[in-house]
Amino acid sequence: MNDALAVVLHPPLSVARDFIDYPYFADLGAVQLAAVLDAQEPTALVDAFALPGAELRWRPDGRAALGVSPAAA
């Protein structure tokens, strides 16, 4: 038996100030991939949008940061 663990990481995003709604669904591919992999092997999903502390915050350069900080992910 293989003791390997597949880890799927969906990182935090930086988006322009004028984004509409696309970032909120950007993790769908990672979530689906983790589900497919988990059917065959143990799999962990690290989703920066779903971790405690995830938020939308404005950076000093005017861009929006979505999810947890990169260090937290």
Query: How many domains in the chain?
Result: 1
Tokens of 20: 């509409």
Output the CA torsion sign for 5, 36, 39, 46: positive
Residue 72, in any domain of the structure: no
d(CA 23, CA 11): 12
Does residue 73 lie in a domain region? no
Is-contact 45 8, C-beta < 8 A? yes
**51 within a domain of the structure (yes/no):** yes
Q: What is the value of pTM for the model shown?
A: 0.80
What are the tens digits of pLDDT across the range 3-61? Answer: 789 999 999 999 998 887 766 688 999 999 999 999 999 999 999 999 999 999 999 99
What domain range is 43 assigned to?
6-67
Structure tokens at 70: 């990169």
Q: Would 1 be classed as within a structural domain?
A: no
Position 15 in a domain: yes
> Is residue 22 a part of any domain in this protein?
yes
The answer as to whether 63 is a domain residue is yes
Q: Write down the pLDDT at residue 40.
A: 94
